[in-house]
Amino acid sequence: MLASLVATCKMSSVNPVDYIANTLQAILDGHPKSRIEDLMPWHFSQTSRLAA
């Protein structure tokens, strides 16, 4: 599963370490389950916070 996540990040031109760290932080900060799509690698932006 982790290998698949890393591969998806690479296909989306996203740094996997930054993505995983920011995504885990967003979950810890209470990102709503109804907006799970916002946490996908293809929506990741290095300059934005995932947990709005």
**Structural domain boundaries enclosing 2:** 1-48
Per-residue pLDDT of the chain (52 residues; tens, 9 = 90+): 899 999 999 999 999 999 999 999 999 999 999 999 999 999 987 654 444 4
Number of domain units in the chain: 1
Q: What is the pLDDT at residue 47?
A: 52
Rounded CA separation 47/2 (Å): 24
Q: What is the pLDDT at residue 45?
A: 78
For residues 31 and 39, the answer to whether their CB atoms sit within 8 Å is yes
